[in-house]
C-alpha cells in the first residue's frame, strides 16, 4: 500500500540491517500504550460487577496490543511527516530501521488479532469498541483529519478517550453514563494537552505542514482555546464524585488538581511573549500528563480499596 502513493510516501534511506524486536516494540508507542492500559484498568476496577482475573488480564492485554497496532499503523501512514519533525524523526521508519510495509503488516496483524481475541474471549461489545478505537485513530484521525484541519486532535482525541469505555465494557458488556463520563474527561483533556505542546513545537508542525491550531489560527487563538477547554475539563473531572462514581478523596484531589490545571492554563493564556511563554506551555503540557494520571490513579485506588474491604 505504501507503494501506491499515499501521503505516507517516504524515501527510505537504505535499511541498515534486519530490524530487531526493539524496533517493533517502538512501533507500538509503548508510552502511549501504558497510559491507555492504565485508564482501561481503572475503568475495569470502577465498573460494577466482576470479571475473572484471567479474562480481565486478557482484556488488558488485548487493549494494549490494539493500542500498539494503532500506533504502528499511524507510524506507517505518517512516516513522511515523522521524518520532518524533530520529535518524531528518530522513529523506526524515518530512521530506516523498519520499512513502511513491515509496519503496515505488523500493525494490521496485531489489530485483527487483538479485536478477534477481545471479541471471542472477553465479549463482543468490548471487541467492537476496540475495533472502533483502532479504526477511528487510523482512518478518522491519521488519514482524514490530521493533515486537513486544526480540529484534528479535538475530534481525533476520541480515539485516545475510548480505552476506559473498552475496559468498562469488558466487565459489564455494555456502555453506561459512567464510562461515557470517563471518555469525556480524556476527550476534553486532549486539546489543552496537545495544544500546549503545539505552542512550543509550532515550527516543527509548520515544517511538516500539519495544520495544528497555532500554525493555522495563531498562538493567541490557541491560548484562548486552551483556556476554554480547561474550563470545561476541570468540572467534568470532578463530576465522577458528584454522580457517586467516585468518593470524597477523588472529589478533593480532582478539585485541587483542577485548580492547578486552571492556574497553569491561565498562565499560558496571559504570558504570550519570550521564553516565559514557552516555559508556561511546557509546564502545562507536563502537568497535564500528571493530572490525568493522578485522576485515574485516585479513582483506581478508591475502587481497589472498596473491593478489598468488601
Partner 1 sequence: MALVMSPNRDGEQESKKRQRMRSLAIALVLGVMAVLFYLATIVHLGSNVANRPL
- List 14, 18, 274, 275, residue binding partner 1 (CB under 8 A): 18
- State phi, psi for 6 to the nearest 5 degrees: -70, 170
- List 4, 11, 17, 275, residue binding partner 1 (CB under 8 A): 17
* Residue span 195-224 as binding mask against partner 1, x where in contact by CB under 8 A, dash where not: ------------------------------
- List 58, 118, 154, 196, residue binding partner 1 (CB under 8 A): 58
- List 4, 49, 54, 274, residue binding partner 1 (CB under 8 A): 54
Cell digits of residue 24: 517493533
In the bound state with partner 1, the residue whose beta carbon lies nearer, of 93 and 202, is 93
**CB 120, min distance to partner 1, A:** 8
21 sits near partner 1 (criterion: CB under 8 A): yes
In the bound state with partner 1, the residue whose beta carbon lies nearer, of 62 and 142, is 62
Q: Which of residues 118-137 bind partner 1 (CB under 8 A)?
A: 121
In the bound state with partner 1, the residue whose beta carbon lies nearer, of 71 and 156, is 71
Point out which residues bind partner 1 (CB under 8 A). Answer: 17-21, 24, 52, 54-55, 58, 61, 113, 117, 121
Amino acid at each position: 500500500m505504501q507503494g501506491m502513493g499515499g501521503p505516507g510516501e517516504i524515501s527510505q534511506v537504505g535499511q541498515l540491517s534486519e530490524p530487531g524486536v526493539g524496533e517493533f516494540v517502538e512501533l507500538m508507542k509503548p508510552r502511549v500504550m501504558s497510559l491507555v492500559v492504565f485508564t482501561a484498568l481503572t475503568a475495569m476496577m470502577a465498573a460494577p460487577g466482576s470479571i475473572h482475573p484471567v479474562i480481565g488480564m486478557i482484556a488488558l492485554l488485548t487493549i494494549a496490543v490494539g493500542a500498539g497496532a494503532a500506533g504502528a499503523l499511524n507510524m506507517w501512514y505518517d512516516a513522511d511527516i515523522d521524518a520532518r519533525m524533530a520529535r518524531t524523526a528518530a522513529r523506526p521508519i524515518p530512521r530506516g530501521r523498519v520499512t513502511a510495509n513491515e509496519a503496515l503488516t505488523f500493525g494490521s496483524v496485531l489489530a485483527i488479532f487483538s479485536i478477534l481475541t477481545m471479541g471471542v474471549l472477553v465479549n463482543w461489545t468490548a471487541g467492537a469498541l476496540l475495533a472502533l478505537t483502532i479504526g477511528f485513530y487510523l482512518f478518522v484521525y491519521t488519514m482524514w483529519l490530521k493533515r486537513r484541519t486544526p480540529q484534528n486532535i479535538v475530534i481525533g482525541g476520541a480515539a485516545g478517550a475510548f480505552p476506559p469505555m473498552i475496559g468498562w465494557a469488558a466487565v459489564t458488556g455494555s456502555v453506561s453514563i459512567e464510562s461515557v463520563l470517563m471518555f469525556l474527561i480524556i476527550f476534553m483533556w486532549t486539546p489543552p494537552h496537545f495544544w500546549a505542546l503545539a505552542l512550543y513545537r509550532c515550527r516543527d508542525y509548520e515544517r511538516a505542514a500539519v495544520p495544528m491550531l497555532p500554525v493555522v489560527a495563531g498562538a493567541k487563538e490557541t491560548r484562548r482555546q486552551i483556556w476554554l477547554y480547561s474550563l470545561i475539563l476541570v468540572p467534568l473531572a470532578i463530576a465522577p464524585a458528584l454522580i457517586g462514581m467516585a468518593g470524597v478523596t477523588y472529589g478533593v484531589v480532582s478539585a485541587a488538581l483542577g485548580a492547578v490545571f486552571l492556574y497553569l492554563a491561565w498562565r499560558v493564556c496571559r504570558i504570550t511573549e519570550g521564553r516565559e511563554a514557552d516555559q508556561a506551555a511546557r509546564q502545562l503540557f507536563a502537568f497535564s500528563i500528571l493530572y490525568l494520571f493522578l485522576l485515574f490513579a485516585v479513582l483506581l485506588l478508591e475502587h481497589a480499596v472498596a473491593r478489598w474491604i468488601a
